[in-house]
Amino acid sequence: MDLVFSDIHADISALETILGVTSSKEFTKKYGTFSRIINLGDVLERGTNPREVLSRLKLLEQNYTIHSVMGNHDEGFLANTMIGGSSIESMNAHANLREEDLSFFKQNNDGTFGKREYIDKKMDYSAFMADH
């Protein structure tokens, strides 16, 4: 089973809630355990815990395959372009991110980051990054 989520927006509580629910005995008894994670983007911006979210995702990569599609907020942040809706607290938290924090986002040969699409022919689904 795949765990699919999006729009975490630097909210560590939201990410931990998703992981807690999907790892609970009740959930796994009814639906099974997940074996990989599909992140549909928008990990960053708006929230105030980007370092914690990125750290948690990197820890998850040690036990799960994670396929990520860039969200417009992720791409905007990495390109130093504000998408909007962020508080001063959020902007300050993101401004303090270091290069090692951002290593979750793999840099492409052309200088961009991450995947713009994810296609799984076996499971018959696909995800594409929405344009700004």
* pLDDT tens across the length of the chain (132 residues): 999 999 999 999 999 999 999 999 999 999 999 999 999 999 999 999 999 999 999 999 999 999 988 899 998 898 888 787 789 999 999 999 999 999 998 887 887 777 777 777 777 777 776 654
Q: Give the predicted TM-score (pTM) of the model.
A: 0.87
Q: d(Cα 100, Cα 95) in Å, to the nearest integer?
A: 13
Q: With contact defined as beta carbons under 8 Å apart, do 72 and 130 qualify?
A: yes
C-alpha closest to that of 132 among 77, 63, 67: 77
Domains and CATH numbers, the chain: 2-128 (3.60.21.10)
Q: d(Cα 1, Cα 17) in Å, to the nearest integer?
A: 18
**Other CB atoms within 10 Å distance of the CB of residue 92:** 11
Nearest-10 crossing angle of helices 50-60, 88-95: 50
Q: d(Cα 69, Cα 88) in Å, to the nearest integer?
A: 26
